[in-house]
Structure 1
Amino acid sequence: MPPTPKIKRPSSVTVEEFFRVNEKSLKLKLVGSDVGFARKISEPSVNRPGLALSGFFTYFAYKRVQVIGNSEHSFLEGLDPKLRAARFSQLCSWDIPCLVIARSHRIGDELIEIANSAGISVFQTNMMTMKFLNTATIKLEWAFAPNMLVHGCLVDVQGIGVLIQGDSGCGKSESVIGLLQRGGSLVADDAVRLRLVEDREVVGSAPDITRGMIEIRGLGILNVAAIFGVSAVRLSKRLDLIVELVRGAKTEDLERVSASADSHDIMGMKIGRVTLPVEPGRDVAGLIELAAINFKLRTFGYDSAVEFDQRLLKKMTDEQLG
């Protein structure tokens, strides 16, 4: 098994990264200056600054993205212009990352100018406030999730996320082609970005530059969607099983029959692992598919190795009893 790569744990995300990555999904539009793009979001959540606008700053979550929804906008509109400017200036005096105005509401140019003068960028979205809060929180948790970059190919095989690993030249990409011909979907080839989501599952995806692409020796870079159809590509997939391809002398140490299920630790999560020997003439893609199906059976409570042991024990018992 390749050595475990270093785990990255992001402590912050810049406002520019948050905007560029989520501009379309969160329907964000810059209505002020980009003066605050270098500011950092230090907590993977969002905050509605209603109490802060009323002058109460105790326990103010200033490290989060600040969202002005219906109630905050209505409160500001009901204030005297001078008091409104004073309260907004007080809010912007804190080191907040950025401001997002929900439901396509508009705030006065004077308030935008106050924010820009304080080095804070202002965005607008037409999303409902609660929908934006939920979606933005998910996006931020994804950005802040512990992650690592591993070498291998991640494929969706009958709903099972299979990470294929092995030495260079052992046939990983060729096996993926065989799985795609059997109806599988490619998530990532060669480099796989793994993220620990909510401390409960590991999700894999491809770097932007290689998404939907696969490299085959002798053929070069191939566009999977163009050859196999768009259904043959997935943006992300939960990691369920690791298949390590080995060849040569390494295959001599493999057990022919084993009732124990092997596993590998990925960022604190136990991931099932299968080691498959690679030899000329072996249908490696078919074996990987069988490994995925067998893993699925185990999740349903059926284990072929356990059943074999039970049969063997029964036969031995029957023979002893005559």
Structure 2
Amino acid sequence: MAKVRTKDIIEKFNLELISGEEGVNRPITVSDISRPGIEMAGYFTYYPAERLQLLGKTEISFFNQLDVEQKQIRMEKLCTDITPAIVVSREMEVPQELIEASERESVPVLRSDMKTTRLSSRLTNYLESKLAPTTAVHGVLVDIYGVGVLIIGKSGVGKSETALELVKRGHRLVADDCVEIRQEDQDTLIGNAPGLIEHLLEIRGLGIINVMTLFGAGAVRNFKRITLVINLETWDQTKHYDRLGLEEEKMKIIDTQITKLTVPVRPGRNLAVIIEVAAMNYRLKKMGINAAEQFSNRLTGAIEDTTLEDHDETY
């Protein structure tokens, strides 16, 4: 099923439908926008017909200089069976040749009152958001001091209970149980809850609770960028856990590498406080303050000083 169709951008940007109404259900499969200036000049060898075509002042003014036969040929080639739409900006007059060709091929011709550059930018941002690669992860997403923390782990390890404690401490729930993630940029992951379970939290023994109803609108967010992953796992005495924080593990989600911390779960550990501190410590690292590295450097300096003293005493 297509994520975006031509009719979606008509409604989103309040575009005027000029012709080609039969094609308003055409799918838009790429976020790139094409300004077919070189095609207007007659070069169609690498014409990206699957993109939205945007005609601005430059393209229309050049087109008006062509003779009648060239105008018809150019517009017939511009309107293909896979072209989702042709958009004319600045509320300019749509060439009659384009209207006729679009009606024959059922290519929607749309018009906007926005300037070309601004329209192109807004269309690209909208399509990149809608057509971004997506996945779903079993876990809980919480906004902690502005850090999007994805809490993962096996079922029953205490993810939802920890999220509830974090909400009580003033942080904001984004999603529980299932987190829908889309990659909007090379290193940008945005998480949100499926509409069916938005603002809901499942606590074993209590059932489903509505976080917004219980704690207010300030306790929830609709979406949040994910920058840190916390993996909760049952304490394993045979496993080595990082005690200094010098080792940085990564988790790949779609095509993005995210910092991952593994927190062992055992009775008596306050997971909410640990995760809260992990988020604050992550922010400090991004600001250039790394407590683990500072301790390591301090320890190295102390060892070197001791070695020098022993060397001096020997001689």
Query: TM-score higher than 0.5 here?
Result: yes
Query: Does the CA-based 8 Å contact 2:193-2:223 persist in structure 1?
Result: no
- Give the CA deviation at 1:19: 4.2
Partner of 1:233: 221
Letter in 2 for 1:305: A
**Residues 221-269 of structure 1: CA distance to partner in whole angstroms, max 9, x if unpaired?**
52538843257314331x221101122x546625262332222233443
1:50 correspondence with 2:61: no
Q: Aligned to 1:148, which of 135, 138, 141?
A: 135
Partner of 2:248: 261
1:184 correspondence with 2:143: no
Query: Does the CA-based 8 Å contact 1:46-1:67 persist in structure 2?
Result: yes
Structure 2-normalised TM-score? Answer: 0.79
Which stretch of the first structure deviates more once superposed, 251-260 or 128-137?
A: 251-260
Name the CA distance, whole Å, in 1 between partners of 2:305 and 2:37: 76
Change (3 A) 1:141 1:225: farther
SS in 2 for 1:265: strand
Structure 1-normalised TM-score? Answer: 0.77
Partner of 1:224: 212
SS in 2 for 1:127: coil
1:119 correspondence with 2:101: no
Query: Does the CA-based 8 Å contact 2:176-2:193 persist in structure 1?
Result: no
Partner of 2:183: 196
Query: Does the CA-based 8 Å contact 1:13-1:40 persist in structure 2?
Result: yes
Structure 1 portions without partners, runs of 5+ = 1-11
Change (3 A) 1:268 1:62: closer
- Give the CA deviation at 1:92: 1.6
Q: Aligned to 1:306, which of 262, 269, 293?
A: 293
Change (3 A) 1:140 1:282: same
Partner of 1:282: 269
1:294 correspondence with 2:312: no
Which stretch of the first structure deviates more once superposed, 299-308 or 84-93?
A: 84-93
Change (3 A) 1:169 1:60: same
Query: Does the CA-based 8 Å contact 1:152-1:172 persist in structure 2?
Result: yes
Name the CA distance, whole Å, in 2 between partners of 1:167 and 1:42: 36
Partner of 2:148: 161
Name the CA distance, whole Å, in 2 between partners of 1:32 and 1:183: 53
Query: Does the CA-based 8 Å contact 2:140-2:160 persist in structure 1?
Result: yes
Identity fraction in percent: 30
Structure 2 portions without partners, runs of 5+ = 311-315
Name the CA distance, whole Å, in 1 between partners of 2:296 and 2:270: 27
The residue correspondences of 1:28-43 to structure 2 (distance < 5 A) are 28-43=15-30
Q: How many residues are treated as equivalent by the alignment?
A: 306
Letter in 1 for 2:243: V
- Give the CA deviation at 1:79: 6.8
